[in-house]
Structure 1
């Protein structure tokens, strides 16, 4: 287990040559240099910058202020890796900074996905596969009286021959709460609570073992996130995601430290623990969220109006419920909750 004194700041994102063809990924709001093979690099920079501000990684904050330099530094290391491996393919990049602002990059190969997985048009549930050509409804001629008689050796294809497409992800609600702390709010290598959660509640998925997730909830019995993903659930006729308490405006060195008048606000926003308080919707400060990470893909989905922030009680999650998940490496996926 990593001590709180030795942790590093990090984010995980996707490198994919396919992204060079994406108009969405080429928007200046998502990347510093376009077109870019990095998936939402600007949003990943922002989350690391916020963590650097909170944990007083001042040298990291200074380095991250130059987004174009970050792009070039990552691209140089990726190109060195690709030249050594001899082929171009999608990669997972785990970007780490220690307190002295030393950058390290862990690289691993990941499967290709479509642009629709990285930038979906909506969070509508995936539709079943179309039926095969032989499954079209048969309309007998009126001359036969509508009868169709099979010989003893005849048969019809089974309806189960081509089952409809189901969810790729298998999800399970955690068995115990995960209390909020700066290490559940901001991404660092101190991830023991996530490892513990996966050890006690991770479901199995024989078809796609990688696509398994645990739904976390806080000490107020509210969903926060998955152990590696952001969550989207259907409530009140729309998709919602648990609030995390993102500060408004630009990220600056004073965002989490002081208010507009200079007064100390160290217990505000991301630094305040969630507390129970209900009269219809949450009556907490608008800055106080449920306690999960501020994912890059989650920020994008909110910006596109695909979902809204809203507290979700853990006791409202039902077995068989469809849930969208997303992260900065695999994009978006649809899953179902198991018991």
Structure 2
């Protein structure tokens, strides 16, 4: 295990894409694409700040707090873009000394291959019909549980448990549309190795003082051990899903789920058991 004081860095990975600005919904307060075409910019700043705060890295906390607005954070990231006219995958790394590094890699997949921006009153059930070119993924269940830790709560360079899960189900490159579903020692779904996962479940709605069974999209509770990811926060804030416990013994082969991350956006998937 890495030394919790120094021997790793916290990470957030996001998409820069000039094409995102063309899809902007000016009524959506979550995106701030008018500032710069960074996907979920303020969510990434918040994620980094939450992580370094949990690790008690005072210098790193101060470094993130210096970017006091979306504009200032965008300026910091923009300085690392080789060409602002094309899309990039930006990997932000921050160490305990407050040193921030940004790695830029070109993005080759077209914007239409994934879903990034939700319409008003979004629903996962209707997103595919509105986005004909979206790539469908496969989701495979891990063959053994993973023990949650602060390194599954936050995204860091400590990736051993994620790499092991991918190897157990023989996943190809991370560029391939195949993912592994990880679960904890209690048999509760956590997340994918590079994605948040959303499941369709029947739940009891007691909003109006009467118990009504409704279908909802559920993402695993953070207490189950998964990561507080940027797209997860966006999905919860927009109301497209809620949180709950998803037991792996309730999963069915062939059921339709959704996945998301900060570079690829949202994509439909089919569960393989």
In the superposition, the TM-score normalised over structure 2's length comes to: 0.84
Q: For residues 337 and 46 of structure 1, what CA distance do their matches in structure 2 show?
A: 31
Structure 1: give runs of 5+ residues left out of the alignment.
Answer: 131-164, 245-288
User: Could you tell me which residue of structure 2 aligns to residue 15 of structure 1?
Assistant: 16
Instruction: Note if 1:241 corresponds to 2:219.
Output: yes
Q: Bigger radius of gyration, 1 or 2?
A: 1
Measure, in 1, the Cα distance between the counterparts of 2:242 and 2:77.
Answer: 32
Give the equivalent residue in structure 1 for 2:210.
none
Give the drift of 1:97.
0.9
Q: TM-score with structure 1 length normalisation?
A: 0.68
Distance in 2 (alpha carbons) for counterparts of 1:309 and 1:89:
35
Q: Distance in 2 between matches of 1:166 and 1:26?
A: 24
The alpha carbon displacement at 1:21 in A equals 2.7
Q: Aligned in 2, Cα 1:117/1:128: closer, same or farther, shift over 3 Å?
A: closer
**Cα displacement (A) at 1:203:** 4.7
Paired with 1:98 and 1:129, the residues of 2 have a C-alpha distance of 39
Secondary structure, counterpart of 1:82 in structure 2 = coil
User: How far apart are the structure 2 equivalents of 1:27 and 1:192?
Assistant: 37
Work out the number of aligned pairs and report it.
252
Q: How far is 1:112 from its partner?
A: 2.1
Q: CA deviation at 1:128?
A: 11
Once residues 18 and 26 of structure 1 are traced to their aligned partners in structure 2, the CA distance between those partners, rounded to angstroms, is 18
- In structure 2, which of residues 130, 155, 162 is the aligned counterpart of residue 194 of structure 1? 162
Residue 270 of structure 2 corresponds to residue 336 of structure 1: yes
The equivalent of 2:211 in structure 1 is none
Q: How many Å apart are 1:114 and its aligned residue?
A: 3.0
RMSD: 2.7
Contact 2:115 2:131 in 1 (8 A): no
Q: Residues 202 and 337 (structure 1 numbering): CA distance in 2 closer, same or farther, change over 3 Å?
A: farther
Deviation at 1:319, TM superposition (A): 0.9
Gaps in structure 2 of 5+ consecutive residues: 203-214
Deviations 1:244-265 (A, max 9, x none): 1xxxxxxxxxxxxxxxxxxxxx
